[in-house]
């Protein structure tokens, strides 16, 4: 293994941020299976800011953990990129040294394709920007080790969901440095819990003092969710505010189609038959709740009560429909930004913390919905001054 000095990595990562003049950046894609919504945007472009955008990138290698399917081979044949048998071969394009300008990973949290990337960087004495779609792989300690490795080896690491960077209705962000009294997120969908937590986190991290980490987590299910609201664990007024931003409330009257105040009418409890509540206590005293309400809505909405005007803020995270799903284009645009500048557009610690909250909530569920202290989630970071969501 090559011993890397700080000076060496400063030099190599600076070079890695930019391809030779006039040439597109060379990209390796690592995936469980071919990800059309993401990878196709790099190959053929995508709509962005009212125009068709063609990335200045070239996919030069592809590695897939699952047996190669027809879609993968078809894309490889059409666009001329080779398929490799290992991560190391893909990053080196079949040679002996790192031969790409960036790595994009599309794999579930149980499939760790980031560790072998880090191993190649260490062996070759050069690192390039990496994007990991969704949560970082593995348990919290392992994910934290990857974030630490990125800092040590000085390569930008970007991860997470498209929720923080998609459009918002209305197009608001919480004022930087605001005092948040309480925050609430409402979402739906199987396996969408992490995405909703990532969206919640991108809002609350803008509070006074920045992100301080999480002190305790509790996952409630079923009737315990409604009892927690009745007891004041979360604000029904904030829940009403969040639901007011939804474009898909499912509580409609039979005859005339008028929407209802789902909370005040009691209809919400009839619609969301298997609710979940992620009760999150931050180290600085903030309390936030994520309610996953399948059957009641089909989108993602946020509300917060601030200390001072404007007191109540709420918005919808716009998840555009299939087949275009242009919210994923917003995320790919951020990936392009990182590849062009060599700097992650927002902190990977956000994704690390959201994944840690989800993991601790799953532990709470296994322990009969107990409140669990989370001293290991003392993740601190400062948000960027500028908003990162799509506004064009």
DSSP for 213-251 reads -EEEEEEEETHHHHHHHHTTSS-HHHHHHHHTT-S----
pLDDT digits (tens, 9 = 90+) for 69-80: 889 999 999 999
pLDDT digits (tens, 9 = 90+) for 102-138: 999 999 877 899 999 999 999 999 999 999 999 999 9
- What confidence score (pLDDT) does residue 70 get? 83
- What confidence score (pLDDT) does residue 5 get? 38
- The tokens for 34 are 């071919």
pLDDT at 11 over 80: no
Mean pLDDT of 306-321: 90
Domain shared by 51 and 195, yes or no: no
Q: Among 160, 182, 199, where does a domain finish?
A: 160
User: What is the CA 156 to chain-centroid distance, rounded?
Assistant: 16
Q: Does any domain span residue 382?
A: no
> Cis (ω within 30 of 0) for the bond into 170?
yes
Higher per-residue confidence, 255 vs 345: 345
Give the percent of the chain with pLDDT over 70: 92
Q: Would you give the end-to-end CA distance of the chain in angstroms?
A: 46
Domain shared by 117 and 180, yes or no: no
In angstroms, the CA 182 to CA 27 distance is 42
Domain shared by 150 and 181, yes or no: no
**Residue in 97, 147, 159, 152 with CA at minimum distance from that of residue 126:** 97
Domain shared by 156 and 172, yes or no: no
pTM: 0.92
- DSSP annotation of 282 reads E
Structurally, the chain folds into a number of domains equal to: 2
Q: Among 160, 184, 206, where does a domain finish?
A: 160
- The enclosing H or E element of 36 equals helix 36-44
- The tokens for 27 are 């990209």
Q: Among 160, 187, 216, where does a domain finish?
A: 160
Domain shared by 18 and 136, yes or no: yes
Q: Does any domain span residue 205?
A: yes
Domain shared by 223 and 295, yes or no: yes
Q: Does any domain span residue 81?
A: yes
pLDDT digits (tens, 9 = 90+) for 179-235: 999 999 999 998 899 999 999 999 999 999 999 999 999 999 999 999 999 999 999
pLDDT at 306 over 70: yes
Mean pLDDT of 55-71: 92
CATH label of the domain that carries residue 212: 3.30.360
Domain shared by 369 and 222, yes or no: yes
Mean pLDDT of 7-17: 40
- What confidence score (pLDDT) does residue 144 get? 98
pLDDT at 13 over 70: no
- What confidence score (pLDDT) does residue 326 get? 85
Mean pLDDT of 362-384: 97
Domain shared by 222 and 353, yes or no: yes
CATH label of the domain that carries residue 74: 3.40.50.720
pLDDT digits (tens, 9 = 90+) for 229-266: 999 999 999 999 999 999 998 866 545 566 788 999 89
Mean pLDDT of 333-353: 97
pLDDT at 336 over 70: yes
* Structural domain that includes position 101: 6-160
Domain shared by 122 and 203, yes or no: no
Q: Which residue's entry shows tokens 């001072």?
A: 308
- What confidence score (pLDDT) does residue 9 get? 35
Domain shared by 251 and 330, yes or no: yes
Out of 9-18, 166-175, 220-229, pick the least confident. Answer: 9-18
Mean pLDDT of 157-176: 97
Domain shared by 182 and 154, yes or no: no
In angstroms, the CA 302 to CA 238 distance is 9
pLDDT at 14 over 80: no
Domain shared by 146 and 17, yes or no: yes
Q: Does any domain span residue 301?
A: yes
Mean pLDDT of 298-320: 93
Q: How much is the mean pLDDT over the chain? A: 91
pLDDT band at 47 (very low <50, low <70, confident <90, very high): confident
pLDDT at 2 over 60: no
Mean pLDDT of 70-94: 96
């Amino acid at each position: 293994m090559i011993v890397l000095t700080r000076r060496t990595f400063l030099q190599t990562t600076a070079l890695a941020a930019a391809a030779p003049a006039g040439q597109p950046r060379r990209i390796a894609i690592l995936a469980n299976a071919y990800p059309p919504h993401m990878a196709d945007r790099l190959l053929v472009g995508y709509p962005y800011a009212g125009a068709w955008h063609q990335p200045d990138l070239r996919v030069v290698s592809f590695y897939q953990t699952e047996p190669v399917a027809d879609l993968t081979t078809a894309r490889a044949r059409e666009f001329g990129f080779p398929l490799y048998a290992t991560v190391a071969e893909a990053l080196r394009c079949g040679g002996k040294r790192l031969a790409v300008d960036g790595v994009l990973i599309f794999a579930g949290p149980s499939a760790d394709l980031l560790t072998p990337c880090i191993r190649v960087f260490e062996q070759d004495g050069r690192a390039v920007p990496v994007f990991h779609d969704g949560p970082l792989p593995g348990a919290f300690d392992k994910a934290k080790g990857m974030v630490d490795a990125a800092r040590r080896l000085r390569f930008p690491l970007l991860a997470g969901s498209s929720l923080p960077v998609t459009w918002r209705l209305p197009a608001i962000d919480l004022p930087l440095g605001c005092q948040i009294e309480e925050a609430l997120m409402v979402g739906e969908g199987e396996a969408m819990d992490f995405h909703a937590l990532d969206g919640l986190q991108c809002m609350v991290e803008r509070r006074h003092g920045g992100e301080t980490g999480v002190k305790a987590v509790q996952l409630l299910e079923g009737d315990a969710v409604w009892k927690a609201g009745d007891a004041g664990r979360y604000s029904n007024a904030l829940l009403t505010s969040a639901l007011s931003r939804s474009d898909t409330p499912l509580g409609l009257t039979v005859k005339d189609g008028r929407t209802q105040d789902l909370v005040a009418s009691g209809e919400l409890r009839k619609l969301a038959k298997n609710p979940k509540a992620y009760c999150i206590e931050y180290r600085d005293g903030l309390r936030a709740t994520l309610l996953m309400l399948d059957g009641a809505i089909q989108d993602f909405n946020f509300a917060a009560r601030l200390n001072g005007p404007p007191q109540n803020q709420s918005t919808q995270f716009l998840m555009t429909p299939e087949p275009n799903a242009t919210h994923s284009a917003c995320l790919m645009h951020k990936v392009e930004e990182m590849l062009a500048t060599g700097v992650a557009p927002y902190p990977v610690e956000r994704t690390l913390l959201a994944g840690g909250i989800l993991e601790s909530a799953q532990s709470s569920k296994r322990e009969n919905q107990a409140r669990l202290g989370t001293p290991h989630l003392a993740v601190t970071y400062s948000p960027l001054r500028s908003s990162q969501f799509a506004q064009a």
